[in-house]
Amino acid sequence: MYAKFGNFASSIAQTGQRFSWQRCRYMAQQWRDRWSWYRFWQIRENFWEGCTYVIIGGCVLCSAFSLFEVLRLQRNNIQRMWIAYVRKERERSELMEIIKQARAAGLIPPTENEMQ
């Protein structure tokens, strides 16, 4: 029955002790006697040091992610510019072929500086 409350409750149940305010006062006095401001300061410093490490780690990760995104966007822009250039060159060559066919058929007059 007392197993779900942990070792403290089961130890009380096994020894047959009952709740008493005197025991509570005694335990509180023990806690006050063992209190150490130096230990409190150490725990507080460790806590803030851990927070500092978490914040620094977060900043480093955000910077790395931002760098990754900038490089990815730059790569996508270069690829888009290359695709646009290839499309423009393909359309230009198709148009030049249509113009050559039209000149060969005599639909438009020949030009002075013929392209090779």
Residues 6 or more apart from 40 whose CB is under 8 A from it? none
Residue 7 lies in a domain: yes
- pLDDT for 32-58, tens place per residue? 888 888 999 999 999 999 999 999 999
Assign 1 a pLDDT band (cuts: 50, 70, 90).
very low
State how many domains the chain has. 1
Residue 5 lies in a domain: yes
More confident residue, 12 or 94: 94
The whole-number pLDDT of residue 19 equals: 82
| 81: its two tokens | 């510019």
Which of the residue ranges 48-52, 60-64, 105-109 would you say has the lowest mean pLDDT?
A: 105-109
pTM of the predicted model as reported, rounded to 2 decimal places: 0.52
Q: Has residue 109 been placed in a domain?
A: no
What CA–CA distances, in Å, run from 15 to 1, 10, 12, 23, 79? 15, 9, 5, 14, 78
**Longest pairwise C-alpha distance within the chain:** 118
Range of the domain at 8: 1-35
